[in-house]
Amino acid sequence: MLRLAARLLLLILFTVPVLPASALGSFDGEAGIFTWVADTNDYIDLGINTNSVGGYAEGWWDHGWGVRASLYRVAEDDVVTAPDEQIVIDITHRLLSPTDNTFLAAGLGWEQNRFGAEGSVSGLRLVGEGRLGVLGALYIYGAGGWAPNMGGLGLRKDLSSISVEAGVVIDPLPFLSLRAAWRYHITDYTGDITGTRAREANYGLVFGGGIHW
């Protein structure tokens, strides 16, 4: 877990300088860890008790510009062809923000998918996010990203990726957030030998928590 937290901190530190200087006013942030009860037809064990862990960190400046880094990991031995690690960094801007926890945002990001010993692919992605504050300590959220061109790797070419996550967050105590969500991640590609399109998907419930300020 310490290595995971360190990697997320480095991701945030590398992405913060990209934001414009005018955005560096008031700052709100959150960081935490989660477990992803993931399932996919490419896991060796088709049960839902896969050892999936990850973490996230995000910050908002003046309720306008935001940056978020997320890491999703499963044990390399538990997968056959699906990615065993996904790193995502997004920079977004609120298009509409009537309250802190009710807004629509869009932006650009970067995604890297690792396929075990085969290596990794990465590319730019389009992102969107929305939140709806229900109560003072509760909000519903949804987020999605599309990376249309991630290159090729091994027998895969023309790789692309789509990820969608939706859930609920509650703050039971000051500075503490708990979340439950559903996440779906799709990797599309063309087989180098067959020339046909194929799809690898992993999906499942996300449970986690963190601190916010």
CATH number of residue 45's parent domain = 2.40.128.90
Give tens-digit pLDDT for 146-190.
Answer: 999 999 988 888 999 999 999 999 999 989 999 999 999 888 999
pTM of the model as a whole: 0.81
DSSP 136: T
Coil, strand or helix: which one is 4? helix
Phi-psi region of 4 (alpha: psi -120 to 50; beta: other; left: phi over 0): alpha
State how many domains the chain has. 1
Q: Are 103 and 132 in contact (CB under 8 A)?
A: no
Give residue-wise pLDDT tens across range 119-148: 999 999 999 999 999 988 899 999 999 999
- Each residue's pLDDT tens digit, 24-63: 468 889 999 998 877 765 544 454 445 578 999 999 998 8
Full domain range(s) for residue 31: 2-212
Burial status of residue 98 (CB atoms within 10 A of its CB: 0-12, 13-18, 19 or more): exposed
CB 197 within 8 A of CB 189: yes
